[in-house]
Structure 1
Amino acid sequence: MSAQQPATMTTEEAAAFAEEVFDRARNGDAQMLGRLLVAGLPVDLRNHKGDTLLMLASYHGHHETVQLLLEHGADPLIANDNGQLPIAGAAFKGDQAMVRLMLEQGVPVDAAAADGRTALMLAAMFNRLDILDYLLAQGADPAHRDAAGATALMAARTMGAADAAARLEALLG
């Protein structure tokens, strides 16, 4: 009796399977992703835009899926091809609960990709005051500069985020 060989997939079948996996992350199917991860799915799998499963799940607000991926060792510091980290995407989307979850799971409050932009900067740029206040309370550095030398205050002013700019001006004196 010979051992059964694993089924092989064509390139097209593999691509379709991968796209289905990314859809599971995008749609928050934690149960299916959990089974796939246990079966050997790489937790930091990336799509054609450089998005990891964690990026897709966090950007679309799926807290349970993000928790699962982080518990399976997903790297929250992998940026997508746009240079965005999952925590910055959550700040951009205005999902304070997601930002909190990521910080509670050990993501550094001032985590930044190559462009140097932090979640605080994204919160400031898009006038997300609740997230701005939360990140500052968690120790985010308002004086941090991105790769172009801009601070959160400069980013808020550039984007016309008057309330965030006023809050940061008051903080920085």
Structure 2
Amino acid sequence: MTDQKPELDSDTLAFVGRVFQFARMGHAEELATLFGQGLPANLRNDKGDSLLMLAAYNGQHEATRVILEAGGDPELANDRGQTPLAGAAFKGDLAMAELLLAHRAQVDGVGDGTRTALMTAAMFDRTEMVDLLLAHGANPDLRDASGQSAADMARAMGAKATPDQLDRAARKAG
């Protein structure tokens, strides 16, 4: 028995490429039709990005909703360990974060990595996102694999407001 992957013909590769473009570009109706025909909602590309990750990262709210309702896993991380919620946090997309959280995204989820969405939001000084994640129960005291908290990461990145914001939240929680 070998681990050899089957060769895909050019038509199949073109189809798969279109499906991932549908997610990136927000073609919700086309995705819904394909899911209705049996397309797996957790399809991933060569970088480990799921359809949900691509739709969420690119701010495609309706496509994200369609993928979630078709069974897209909000905890499925890409090859860099990033979850769709962390992608929304990086982008500062509050509505997307709310949508993901309403569909079972774990507020402190780390996928295959060690960074939470709160850590990502803090690093890029996304104060409104930090507030949103904290309101949903994000833990400001969690540490990544190197032992850094969200506030530590924010300071290391030169964020202006989020380090103090997180320090206040940690004192309040403690």
Structure 2 residue 42 is matched with structure 1 residue 44: yes
Amino acid at match of 1:143: D
Structure 2 residue 24 is matched with structure 1 residue 29: no
Of the three residues 118, 130, 133, the one matched with 1:120 is 118
What TM-score, normalized to structure 2?
0.91
1:64 is aligned to 62
What TM-score, normalized to structure 1?
0.92
CA distance in 2, matches of 1:162, 1:171: 16
Per-residue deviation at 1:83?
1.3
Amino acid at match of 2:170: L
CA contact (8 A) 1:112 1:118 kept: yes
Per-residue deviation at 1:155?
0.8
Q: Aligned residue pairs: how many? A: 165
C-alpha RMSD of the superposition: 1.3
Structure 1 gaps of 5+ residues are 1-9
2:160 is aligned to 162
1:84 is aligned to 82
Of the three residues 17, 32, 36, the one matched with 2:15 is 17
Amino acid at match of 1:138: H
1:5 is aligned to none
- Percent identical residues: 49
CA contact (8 A) 1:114 1:147 kept: no
CA distance in 1, matches of 2:162, 2:38: 44
Per-residue deviation at 1:172?
2.7
Amino acid at match of 1:85: T
Q: Deviations over 1:75-120 (max 9, x none)?
A: 1111111111100000001101100111111211111123211110
CA contact (8 A) 1:59 1:93 kept: yes
CA contact (8 A) 2:74 2:103 kept: no
Amino acid at match of 1:55: M
Amino acid at match of 2:22: R
2:146 is aligned to 148
Per-residue deviation at 1:48?
1.1
Amino acid at match of 1:80: N
Amino acid at match of 1:32: E
Structure 2 residue 101 is matched with structure 1 residue 97: no
Amino acid at match of 1:161: A
Per-residue deviation at 1:170?
2.4
Structure 1 segments, 4+ long, off by >6 Å, are none
CA distance in 2, matches of 1:78, 1:163: 30
CA contact (8 A) 1:124 1:161 kept: yes
Structure 2 gaps of 5+ residues are 1-7
Amino acid at match of 2:143: R
